[in-house]
Chains A and B, each alone.
Chain A
Amino acid sequence: MSTEAREAPQAPEDPRRGTLRSGKGRLADPIFKWVVAACGTTVLVILALMVIRTTSEAWPVFAKEGFFGFLFGETWNPGRSRTEITGTYGAWPFIYGTMVTAVIAIAIALPLSIMVAVYLTHLAPRRLAKPLSYTVELLAAVPSVIFGLWGLHWFLPTVLRPFFTWLESILGWFFLFEGPVRGVGYLPAGIVLAIMILPIMTAIIREVIAVQPVEQQMAAYALGSTRWEVITKVILPASFSGIVAAAMLGLGRALGETIAVLMLIGGSQSWGASLFGTGSSMASHIAATFGESSPESRIALMAIGVALFLVTMIVNILARVVVWRLGQFTGDAAV
């Protein structure tokens, strides 16, 4: 700048021409900044709109049933009114279905994803590790409607139904496995959900394990530990919070999954203890009945959506807080 100032007197124009704060296009920078800032704020606006719009829409239902009455009521009997709330709305059967399927999914996917992540980081031949993790993550790319189709028309009749019949014949006395085996129900939905959330959980746990300091592991090996001992006594305890975060993100996915669950859970509006029984999850009930619903019951479906949103947000925010504390491992490959 100083050299320009020295030569400037020869030029008849403004000596500050060409510096950053003057001349043509001076406004371009602030305008650009404001445009991208406005775009950035859109995310916040969309989220705020989501909360406000759906809650205000669903408010009459909460007002009539009461928040807890809505959550724990067991009858879902939609009215046909256009202007007021006349039916009875209790979302408990759907909340129960959501919880049961999500718990089944986590119970299967969590141990499996921990084992796969450990295998990928510590056991896999170096050349295979990358293609293998890539393949597991490819599973995350499969659209959920394909999981539903495959589950309903291949996995269920070929693998699950024979397995369920066998399970029922052995453990039928236990209330969780009471017959009859109808095919669709909580258990198949939960099992397919487990397959669907496996990739994201594996991806996060793998990243968490991969950044554990090598020195500790080397020290454990030097003390004569076997690989199994290093894994269970050094790596996994140190990765505990990351594993919790992964489980919660997986749980968030499982709670909100719609189409695959809808195709496999059976769609009844009752609930029962048996895992072979049919039911509905919150999301699947919304999708299943939305098309034929009266305006009034659509408002009630909106209320289910708000409850679902609340639960998944709590789970997700807790998980994100754990992940953020850990640093920057967010399972990008499988978002």
Chain B
Amino acid sequence: MSTATTTPPSAQHTPLSQRPPGSGYRRLKDRSASVLLTAAMVLAMIPLILIIFEVTRRGIGVVSLEFFTETEPPPRREGGGYAAGFFGTLYIMALSILMSIPLGIATAVYVVEYGPNRLTSAIRFFTDVMTGIPSIFVGLFVYGLLVIGWGGMGFGTFAGAVAIGVMMLPIVTRSAEEMLRLVPEEMRNASYGLGARKWQTIMHTVLPAAAPGLATGSMLAVARGIGETAPLLLTAFGSGLVVTAFQGEAQGAVPMQLYRGATQPFEAGIDRAWGAALCLFVLVLLFTVLARWIGSRGTR
């Protein structure tokens, strides 16, 4: 910019710095475009604000202690709660976390520490593709595989957990992969230099160094898994009672119960659905925000 001032300014022209960017028409267009873009940003924010507001407003009155400890009465009657759903969600999530998080992290370890080769690029590509599989199709698959298929084990907790696990797996793998890549090569070399084997390096140096990031990815996956409804409809099937059976007996979950409550024409059932939505929302937001917080602390 300073070089421009060295050339002698001609008398006819105003200096460059004083001239507005573009003529009147172009400037008007530029201004109105800025307004339009800002409006788009505001428009994009509105749904989230509305959802938070409405879920809080309609849900807050419903949630009480008994909402977590009592099962749901017939949808016409008031009172009661989603104890069955909460228990089922907890049960299913615990199982799917046990399945998908170790598997996902191990996959990422293989891809990052032993790649790149043809197998790892195939794994990476298909993990990416897997994030786009419709959740309902995952439900159909687990239904075909376990509920009526080779297992023939019927609806139940385990089938639901497998479906949710399959949904979570690519999310865990993808984020773990990126976190492992962030671990500096010097740390691995230092570990080798001290005489550690490769597995020792991975277990004692790489994974601990990546731990905050791994936690972030896993928690985001859990946040996603908690809210999944469609695959559960086809695998856990839903139940209004607390079910402790590992498999063979239909199991409930909060999102499923919410869906059924919301689509029935009874005010009391719909109210309870709003309460469940609030709980689910708080849970998901908690996991998401906590995950980001851990992640930002780890990478700082």
Contact = CB atoms under 8 A, between A and B. Distances in A.
A51 B171 CA distance: 20
A135 interface: yes
Contacts of A259: 229-230, 255, 259
Given A42-B103, A152-B262, A335-B174, A224 B144 contact: no
Interface in A135-184: 135-136, 138-139, 141-150, 152-155
A144 B230 CA distance: 9
Contacts of A146: 51, 55, 227, 258, 277, 280-281
Given A57-B144, A283-B230, A226 B125 contact: no
B63 interface: no
A135 to B, nearest CB: 6
A197 to B, nearest CB: 12
A301 B173 CA distance: 30
* Main SS at interface, chain A: helix
Contact of B114 (A36, A295, A301): A36
A50 B137 contact: yes
Contacts of A123: 34, 37-38
Contacts of A252: 132
Q: List 8 A-B pairs, minimum CB-CB distance, nearest first.
A: A143-B227, A256-B134, A39-B106, A115-B40, A32-B199, A316-B132, A258-B230, A226-B30
B274 A40 contact: no
Given A36-B109, A43-B107, A231 B47 contact: no
A195 interface: yes
Contacts of A228: 26, 29-30, 33-34
A132 interface: yes
Interface of A: 18, 20, 25, 28-29, 31-33, 35-37, 39-44, 46-47, 49-50, 53-54, 57, 112-113, 115-116, 118-120, 123-124, 132, 134-136, 138-139, 141-150, 152-155, 195, 198, 202, 221, 224-229, 231, 249, 252-253, 255-259, 263, 283, 286-287, 290-291, 295, 298, 301-302, 305, 308-309, 312-313, 315-317, 319-320, 324, 330, 332, 335
Given A143-B226, A144-B227, A259-B230, A198 B141 contact: no
B106 A36 contact: yes
A202 B48 CA distance: 15
B229 to A, nearest CB: 5
Contacts of A144: 227, 229-230
Contact of A116 (B40, B48, B137, B258): B40
B284 interface: yes
A92 to B, nearest CB: 19
A18 B30 CA distance: 71
B140 interface: yes
B197 A302 contact: no
Nearest to B109: A36
Interface string B265-287: 00000100110010011001100
Contacts of A150: 50-51, 54-55, 277
Given A28-B200, A36-B110, A113-B44, 16 more contacts: A50-B138, A53-B141, A123-B34, A139-B47, A143-B229, A143-B280, A145-B227, A146-B258, A150-B54, A256-B133, A257-B134, A263-B263, A287-B230, A287-B234, A332-B178, A335-B171
B144 A53 contact: yes
A263 B262 contact: yes
A118 B37 contact: yes
A333 B29 CA distance: 33
B197 A256 contact: no
14 contacts: A18-B195, A39-B102, A39-B107, A47-B126, A135-B48, A143-B227, A146-B258, A150-B51, A202-B44, A226-B22, A255-B134, A287-B136, A305-B137, A324-B125
